[in-house]
Amino acid sequence: MQLQPDVKKELVHIGTGCAVGTVVLVAGWALAWALGAPFGFSWKVPLSAVLGAFAAWLNFFGLALTLQKMAAGADEARGRSLMRTSELYRKLGLGLFLIAMFLIPAFNWVAAAIPLLFPQVTIFVMYALRRKPSQNKGGET
């Protein structure tokens, strides 16, 4: 399936937001640690944050693909079923990701969990700056 230009543009926006959020998270974590916060800072924090941001972007990518498939189909009932199934698998994937981050000592699960909020924050900032997500021209999605 070929991604539509508007979908590609939104994926770039979300990816940029995740990248900026990850840099801010790691810098803030390092600064808090340097100022004496009770939690440590090591290579685990940036690694976990990058993996968390990637998981968040993949989740958004899955949502975008599902919405594009839904819009291409004519059957509304099948579209709803596809959306529910996609949501289930995407949430299951994020849950398994967080469980793995928690169980594997090489990762910091908190630093991996925070970036999962970055796509929502990115969308909120885009609206706050009056930079609305791409609006389709011509009625196709």
Domain ranges of the chain: 5-123
Read off the tokens for 1: 């399936």
The CA distance from 117 to 82, in Å, is 24
Predicted confidence band of residue 141 (pLDDT cuts 50, 70, 90): very low
Q: What is the pTM for the complete model shown?
A: 0.85
Model pLDDT for residues 3-59, shown as the tens digit of each residue = 888 889 999 999 999 999 999 999 999 999 999 888 889 999 999 999 999 999 999
Of 59, 40, 48, 58, whose CA–CA distance to 112 is shortest? 48
The CA distance from 46 to 54, in Å, is 12
Confidence (pLDDT) at 136: 58
Model pLDDT for residues 50-100, shown as the tens digit of each residue = 999 999 999 999 999 998 888 887 688 888 888 999 999 999 999 999 999
The CA distance from 2 to 65, in Å, is 10
Model pLDDT for residues 74-86, shown as the tens digit of each residue = 688 888 888 999 9
Confidence (pLDDT) at 3: 84
